Structure 1
Amino acid sequence: MSVNENTGRTVVVGLSGGVDSAVAAMLLKEQGWHVIGLFMKNWEDDDDDEYCSSRQDLIDVMSIADRIGIDVDVVNFAREYKERVFAEFLKEYQAGRTPNPDVLCNSEIKFRAFLDHAMQMGAEKIATGHYAGVREFAGRFQLLKAEDGTKDQSYFLHRLNQAQLSKTLFPLADIYKRDVRMMAEAAGLHVAEKKDSTGICFIGERPFKEFLMRYLPPKKGEIRCLDDDRVVGEHDGLTYHTLGQRKGLHIGGTKTYARDGEHDAWFVAKKDMEKNILYVVQGHDHPALLCDVLRAEQLSWIAGDGVDDLPRTHWVYCAKTRYRQPDAPCEIEHIDANACEIQFAEPQWAMTPGQSVVVYESRVCLGGGIIC
């Protein structure tokens, strides 16, 4: 849209205190939008903890808003976050699965609670600093991969629906991260070189096992080698481990029988929740870590259609079961209204229950489901 088409239209931009959302807001103002910043506070359990940066982030947001020349609203979604995201997060870990809180946080907080609040403020659109795109095509809204493939965040946004996408702008869709930082520096934004946030959505980067222990108590058990069932160590609780995990097992390497004394790393291959046994294997490419088919449930298709409405062309789709994983050719088979089976052309590594499998057709994110 041109500047004239946007003049007087209100967009509420989620400001995190980072460079991406700052530049997103700046670009929208340059395009003529009436921009209002919104800072979301979503975690209060240990607000004075060294890992919680919300105070500094709010200071940065106010500085950004002053520099750009926009107003800022501050809203507390801590209750919604705890009920809709964190409770599910703990429930999944307790069941032995490994959830992705960023996916749920986006669909329930950033694009639901935030969207609802922005509409009550009189906004026509909301915007964020996510690296993704949205376009209207044939009467439907599509979620697109970002131009900067190294920063693309469509994986975390795959549960967004038509109503959410129709109200959303992604100003950074066609911009590379390096250029975002250059824009911020040229505009005199002090966050131009601020480190990207990592860790759990809104909770921050912290020692993860110790954090989980505060909510899910330890339950010690054996670590066994999957190949010969020998005991090789002890774990503090299956809850704290995930398939494919290498670090934090504290069992070191042992001489393998087939490799003339070579020391291979151990990887988590299986969790027996009933017997409280953690099974491990040696070697990144061990067959127990590879699989070419998965079942997905809690399906969410962006177009609003089910599996049966997708084109049936063989190998037309690609999917990823981890954020940083390359797209892998696959075929989707219908099971029922809420489940499907995805067959990959090549075996995939450590497909983990609780994580998301996200399906693409070229640059278009079709949606996905939870690996079970």
Structure 2
Amino acid sequence: MIAARTIVGVSGGVDSSVAALLLRDQATRDPGDAVAGLFMQNWADDGSGDCRAEDDRRDAVAVCGRLGLPIHFRDFSREYWDGVFAHFLAEYAAGRTPNPDVLCNREIKFKHFLDAARELGAERIATGHYARIEQRDGRWTLLRAADAGKDQSYFLHQLGQEQLAATLFPLGDWLKHDVRALAAETGLPTAAKKDSTGICFIGERDFREFLSRWLPARDGEIRTPDGRVVGTHPGVFYFTLGQREGLNIGGVRGFEPAPWYVVGKDVGGNVLYVDQGSDSPWLQSQNLWSETAHWIDGHPPARRFASSAQTRYRQAAEACEVDVREDGSLQVRFQRAQRAVTPGQSLVLYDGDRCLGGAVIAATDAALESQLQPHLERNHAA
């Protein structure tokens, strides 16, 4: 059998199914451009009954069978544990909110999957991500997808020149409703399958219950920023800034009957801070400081430059000024105050539709964070 030139990651979802379909059709027109699928198992069955890996595997096999493509299988669960999940737990234990999808792309899909594809004789890989890749002036660029509502460049900002040169995103110019329509028209078994949401290894189960297996509950006080106790919590690491759900704060004497939101966490003291109102001033920050940044080009566009940035997925990009510091970390000042910028999450920078790169958020100038973590170095010059 001729080795496939392109190995497409088939996850058992509709997006990767249509990506495989488009590549197969392209290979039909060019017999030298053979395609095969590869299903990755990234999470070992933990016995909870909530892992859908076997269902997804069956769907991936059915899709490749329908398309007449050979399919390969690789178990990356150990690599996922070491490269993604261990970091996920460490970040939550430290009171931060990590983004495992960013690490999964960097460590699994565009590292171990790419290596496996090359071992199978392929030149490149493809996935069902909504993003675009172009070559400009001899450099590979990562661009937002045509479907702004599905764009996944935020999760791909840790890729570099080597990965982009060996990757295809067949859905980059497609709209999601057209993807589903094509899947239905061609009889793909995943055409009506619901998109997966949330963190892949948690699935549909309760997040707090899942996390408590590794980070045991430890009750503590819920306080307002001025120190008044308004409730109790099962562990500060179960909550993130701006969160409303799960606080279980009833009517509190002396306060309006308005929703409460997490505005700060004191991990050492096991205290969760809350305030009323989704736009509480305690959630606002205008400056952030990051860990060492990654640049898709291999270097920043300048030592100081104007950009737009997202501090969470599906957020509208906001104008900002970026200073690259001597150690490679960033200081970023937004033109207007931002809500619930969260340490551990990713700051991703853009020039129009072009993704420049990004970094993990280390700290902000939110008033309560500055009080709770005064040891964090923020204000030295870039």
Which range, TM-score by smaller chain?
over 0.9
- Contact preservation (8 Å) 1:253, 1:265: no
User: Aligned with 1:143: secondary structure?
Assistant: strand
Pairs within 5 Å for 1:61-210: 61-210=60-209
- Contact preservation (8 Å) 1:270, 1:279: yes
Change (3 A) 1:202 1:209: closer
Moved more, 147-156 or 243-252: 243-252
- Contact preservation (8 Å) 1:254, 1:264: no
Aligned to 1:212: 211
- Contact preservation (8 Å) 2:303, 2:323: no
Paired residue type of 2:232: E
Q: 2:278 is matched with which residue: 284, 297, 306?
A: 284
**Residue deviations 1:250-297, cap 9 Å, x none?**
11354666xxx4x22111111112211111111111111111110011
User: Aligned with 2:275: secondary structure?
Assistant: strand
Q: CA deviation at 1:168?
A: 0.4
Aligned to 2:34: 34
Aligned to 2:289: 295
Q: CA deviation at 1:138?
A: 1.1
Change (3 A) 1:349 1:253: farther
Q: CA deviation at 1:219?
A: 1.4
Q: CA deviation at 1:337?
A: 2.8
Q: 1:310 is matched with which residue: 302, 306, 312?
A: 302
User: Aligned with 1:65: secondary structure?
Assistant: helix
Q: CA deviation at 1:247?
A: 0.3
- Contact preservation (8 Å) 1:330, 1:343: yes
Aligned to 2:234: 236
User: Aligned with 2:292: secondary structure?
Assistant: strand
The separation in 2 between residues aligned to 1:339 and 1:207, in whole angstroms, is 35
Q: Give the aligned length.
A: 356
Pairs within 5 Å for 1:3-18: 10-18=5-13
Change (3 A) 1:78 1:303: same
- Contact preservation (8 Å) 2:130, 2:169: yes
Does 2:243 correspond to 1:248? no
- Contact preservation (8 Å) 1:252, 1:265: no
User: Aligned with 1:107: secondary structure?
Assistant: helix
The separation in 2 between residues aligned to 1:353 and 1:287, in whole angstroms, is 17
Q: CA deviation at 1:75?
A: 0.6
Paired residue type of 1:300: H
TM-score normalised by L of structure 1: 0.92
- Contact preservation (8 Å) 2:4, 2:36: no
Does 2:341 correspond to 1:351? yes
Change (3 A) 1:181 1:284: same
Aligned to 1:4: none
**Residue deviations 1:158-205, cap 9 Å, x none?**
101111111000000000000000111111112111100112134423
Q: CA deviation at 1:299?
A: 1.1
**Residue deviations 1:330-364, cap 9 Å, x none?**
11012223311111011111000000010000000
- Contact preservation (8 Å) 1:147, 1:175: yes
What is the CA RMSD across the aligned residues, in angstroms? 1.6
User: Aligned with 1:298: secondary structure?
Assistant: coil
Does 2:327 correspond to 1:333? no
User: Aligned with 1:303: secondary structure?
Assistant: coil
User: Aligned with 2:308: secondary structure?
Assistant: strand
Q: Which runs of 5+ in 2 are unaligned?
A: 28-32, 363-382
User: Aligned with 2:246: secondary structure?
Assistant: coil
Q: Which runs of 5+ in 1 are unaligned?
A: 1-6
The separation in 2 between residues aligned to 1:249 and 1:350, in whole angstroms, is 17
Does 2:19 correspond to 1:24? yes
The separation in 2 between residues aligned to 1:266 and 1:364, in whole angstroms, is 37
Paired residue type of 2:137: A
- Contact preservation (8 Å) 1:256, 1:264: no
The separation in 2 between residues aligned to 1:25 and 1:88, in whole angstroms, is 32
**Residue deviations 1:142-171, cap 9 Å, x none?**
111000000000000110111111100000
TM-score normalised by L of structure 2: 0.90
Does 2:264 correspond to 1:270? yes
The separation in 2 between residues aligned to 1:132 and 1:310, in whole angstroms, is 25
